């Protein structure tokens, strides 16, 4: 088995373990499960002639636990998507975000951070690697746009603003 296949299997099992762990350890009605639709990467100032994939299609799940006192929301997340080089990438992780409600709760902004493990074919020989990124989510009702900023991490990369649609499926 090659390293990429092994890394993909490890990432898939990690994603499954996080999702199963989140759903089995949370009390009934404790939080919300959401479908993530990955879709857009905006590459900032790419070199002339580069052709990065900005349609980062993929799917994932996010489980938001019940907000703590002070409106902090712990969450776990896992997904797969087609990366900037058109390869399938996987990540799984968790974090915290602070909720700010507007218009009597009709809209919200969540701001925080996420720590994760990711597997990418053309990065670190396909081995899982850790990361920490800021996250912002702007939403109304069951729908939100999750956003993160990925700084330049390798001389071959450019900074990226990454977007995904979050659709809350309901309480677990």
* Cβ-based neighbour number of residue 1 at 10 Å: 6
Per-residue model confidence (pLDDT) at position 162: 94
pLDDT tens digits for range 127-141: 888 999 999 999 999
Separation between Cα atoms, residue 172 and residue 159, nearest integer Å = 36
pLDDT computed for residue 21 by the predictor: 56
What does the alpha-carbon distance between residue 133 and residue 40 come to, in Å, rounded to a whole number?
A: 17
Cβ pair 138, 144 in contact under 8 A:
yes
16 SS3 class? helix
Show the DSSP H helices in 2-113 as ranges. Answer: 3-25
The mean pLDDT of 151-156, rounded to a whole number, is 76
**Residue 88: is its pLDDT beyond 70?**
yes
């Amino acid at each position: 088995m090659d390293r990429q296949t092994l890394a993909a299997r490890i990432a898939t099992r990690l994603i499954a373990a996080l999702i199963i762990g989140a759903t089995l350890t949370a009390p009934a009605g404790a939080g919300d499960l959401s479908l993530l639709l990955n879709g857009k990467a905006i590459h900032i100032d790419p070199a002339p002639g580069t052709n990065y994939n900005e349609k980062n299609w993929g799917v994932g799940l996010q489980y938001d636990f019940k907000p703590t006192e002070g409106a902090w929301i712990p969450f776990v997340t896992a997904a797969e998507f087609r990366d900037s080089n058109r390869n399938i990438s996987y990540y799984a992780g968790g974090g915290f975000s602070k909720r700010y409600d507007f218009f009597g709760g009709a809209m919200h902004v969540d701001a925080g951070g996420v720590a994760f493990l990711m597997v990418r074919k053309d990065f670190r020989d396909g081995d899982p690697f850790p990361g920490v990124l800021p996250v912002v989510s702007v939403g109304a009702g069951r729908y939100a746009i999750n956003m993160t900023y990925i700084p330049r991490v390798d001389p071959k990369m450019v900074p990226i603003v990454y977007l995904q649609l979050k659709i809350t499926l309901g309480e677990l």
